[in-house]
Amino acid sequence: MTTTTQPAVPVQSPFKRWLSGVANASDLGMLPVIAALIVIWIVFEVLNANFLTPRNLSNLAAQIVVTGTLALAEIYIILLGMIDLSIGWNSVLAASIFSLSTVFFHLPVVAGLVLGIVFATVVGFLQGMLVSRVGVPSFVVTLGGAMVAEGITLGILTPHGGSVPLSDSLTTAIGTLNLAPLWSWVLSIVLFGAYAAVTLNQIRQRTAGGHEGGYAAVMRLIGVGVLLFGAVFMLNAYRGVPFLLLIFLIALFASAFVTKSTQFGRHLYAVGGNAEAARRAGISVRGIQLAAFIIAGFLVGLAGYLDAARLGVASASVGNGDIMLNAVAAAVIGGTSLFGGRGSVYGALFGALVIESVSNGMNLLGAASSVRFIVEGGILLAAITVDTVLRLKRLRTGRA
Which stretch, 71-85, 166-180, 334-348, has highest mean pLDDT?
71-85
**Which of 338, 351, 355, 322 has the alpha carbon at shortest distance from 389?**
338
Which residues, including other chains, have CB under 8 Å from residue 304's CB and lie 6 or more apart? 90, 91, 92, 93, 94, 95, 96, 98, 116, 120
Contact assessment for residue 335 and residue 73, using Cβ atoms and an 8 Å cutoff: no
pLDDT at 104 over 70: yes
When mean pLDDT is compared across 168-177, 211-220, 308-317, the lowest value belongs to 211-220
d(CA 119, CA 213): 44
In the chain, % of residues over pLDDT 90: 48
Q: Look at residue 223 in the predicted model and tell me its pLDDT.
A: 81
pLDDT-derived band of residue 23, with 50, 70 and 90 as boundaries?
very low
Is the distance from CB of 291 to CB of 272 less than 8 angstroms?
A: no
Model confidence at 249: pLDDT above 60: yes
pLDDT tens for each residue of 299-330: 999 999 999 999 888 888 887 778 888 899 89
334 vs 14, more confident: 334
Single pTM value for the model: 0.87
pLDDT tens profile 112-155: 999 999 999 999 999 999 999 999 999 999 999 999 999 999 99
Residue type, 226: V
Q: What is the pLDDT of residue 212?
A: 55
Q: What share of the chain is helix, strand, coil (3-state, %, to 5)?
A: 75, 0, 20
Q: Reply yes or no on whether the pLDDT at 257 is more than 50.
A: yes
**Side chain identity at 74, as an amino acid letter?**
E
User: Comparing 369 with 109, which gets the higher pLDDT?
Assistant: 109
Per DSSP, helices labelled H in 237-346 are 243-261, 263-273, 275-280, 285-311, 323-333
* pLDDT higher than 70, residue 25: no
Cα-flanking dihedrals φ and ψ of residue 383, to 5°? -65, -45
Is residue 200 pLDDT above 60, yes or no? Answer: yes
Q: What is the pLDDT of residue 213?
A: 55
Mean pLDDT to the nearest integer, 205-222: 70
Q: How far apart are CA 307 and CA 313, in angstroms?
A: 8
